[in-house]
Amino acid sequence: MLSFALIFIAGIFFSGIISRTKSIFSGRKGPGIMQPIKDIIRLFRKGAVYSQTSSFVFQIAPTIYFSSVVMAMLIVPFGQSKGLISFNGDFIFFAYVLALGKFFSIISALDTGSSFGGMGASREALYSMFAEPAFFILIGSLALLTGHSSFQEIFSALHLGSYITYALAILATFVLLMIAMIENSRMPIDDPKTHLELTMIHEVMILENSGFDLGLILSAGCLKFAIYGALIVNLFIGIFPYEYTIPLFFITQFLIAITIGTIESFMARFRMGHNAQFIFALTSVSLLIFFGALLILGKFI
C-alpha cells in the first residue's frame, strides 16, 4: 500500500515538473506545477462526446487503459515492502497488464474509423513491440543475478557493492527511463505538443476522446511516468536505511522529471524512420546488463 500511495502522490506533480522545466529552459514563465492536474480535474467535470461511427469499444477503452495502469501500480514494491499484488513472475503480469491497456487504446483509435487514428495506432503498436524485449531482458537479467522472480524479491536481494553492479544499475536506469518515454510517447520518440497529423503518434490516437475519458487517459500517463520512476528508485534504495527511502523516492522522481523536461527542451524529435532503430537499440543495452550479470555470477565464458 505504501508504494501505491507514493506513486500516486508523485504522479500528481510529475507532468507539472516536466512542463515547468521546459518553461524555464525556453525562457518563459509558463504554467504552475499543478496546472496539468487542474486541467485533468476540469476534464473530469465534463461529459464525454461519442461519435456515431464508433462502438462500445471506444467508450470502454479509456476506463480499461486507466485501470491497467492502476493495476500495474499495485504490483510495484517499495524497498522491503511488497506491492499489494506480489507473486513469482509478477513482472510478466506487470508488463502485460500495461500491454492490455495499450491494446485497448489502439483498437479504440481504430474504432473511430479515422485514417490518422489508424496511422498513429500502427506506429504506437510497433514502438511498444520493440520496447518489450528490452524490458524483459533487463528484468530477466536482474532475476538471474538475484535468483528471484518477483519484483519485491529481486529489488530486496539486489545489492550494489562493486563497480560492475553500479554500472549495471546506471544502464538499467537508462533503459527504464527510455522505456518510460516511449510508453508515454514523449521526445525524442514523439512530440506531445505537435499538431501535424502526419507526424503524430499518441496524440492523434486520443483526438476523438473528450471530457471524462480524456481525463482518464491523461491521468494514466502521469501515473505511468511515476511507476517507471518507482522501478528506478527500487534499484538504489537497498543501500540506504529505511528512514531515508521515502525522501529518496521523491527526490529521484523529481530528478527524473527534470531529466525528461531537459531532454525535451534540448533534443529534436527523431525522424520516423529512426525511431524503430533507436528503440530496438535499447535491447542491446539490456544485453549488456545480461552479460554483466553473467560476469558477476562467474558464468560468462
Q: What does the pLDDT look like over 57-76, one tens digit per residue?
A: 888 988 999 999 999 999 98
pLDDT band for 296, please (50, 70, 90 cuts): confident
Q: How many domains does the chain have?
A: 1
Question: Distance between CA atoms of 184 and 39, rounded to whole angstroms?
Answer: 18
Which residue has cell 498513429? 120
Burial letters for 158-174: b for 16+ Cβ neighbours within 10 Å, e otherwise?
beeeeeebeebbebbbe
Conformational region of residue 88, where left means phi above 0, alpha means psi within -120 to 50, and beta covers everything else? beta
Model confidence over 134-160: pLDDT tens digits?
Answer: 999 999 988 988 888 888 888 888 877
Whether residue 102 is predicted with pLDDT greater than 80 in this model: the reply is yes
pLDDT of residue 265: 82
For range 220-234, the mean pLDDT: 90
pLDDT of residue 94: 92
pLDDT of residue 72: 92
Contact by Cβ (8 Å): 112, 51: yes
Model confidence over 177-226: pLDDT tens digits?
Answer: 888 888 887 777 776 776 666 666 667 777 788 888 888 988 988 899 89
| Residue 84 amino acid letter | L
pTM for this predicted structure: 0.89
For range 239-247, the mean pLDDT: 74
Q: Which residues contact 42 (CB under 8 A, 6 or more apart)?
A: none
Residue 28 CB burial class (10 angstroms; 0-12, 13-18, ≥19): exposed
For range 235-258, the mean pLDDT: 81
From first CA to last CA, the distance across the chain in angstroms is 43
Q: With CA atoms as reference, report the closest residue to 183 among 37, 284, 68, 21.
A: 68
Using alpha carbons only, give the angle 65, 174, 80 rounded to the nearest 5 degrees. 70
Query: Which range of residues forms the domain containing residue 137?
Result: 2-297
For range 248-253, the mean pLDDT: 87
* Residue 156 CA neighbour count, 13 Å, CB half: 13
Contact by Cβ (8 Å): 131, 181: no
Pick from 10-14, 28-32, 100-104, 286-290: least confident? 28-32
Question: Distance between CA atoms of 209 and 47, rounded to whole angstroms?
Answer: 11
Q: At what angle do helices 163-183 and 115-146 cross, to 10 degrees?
A: 160
Mean of pLDDT over the chain: 84
**Omega cis (within 30) before 247:** no
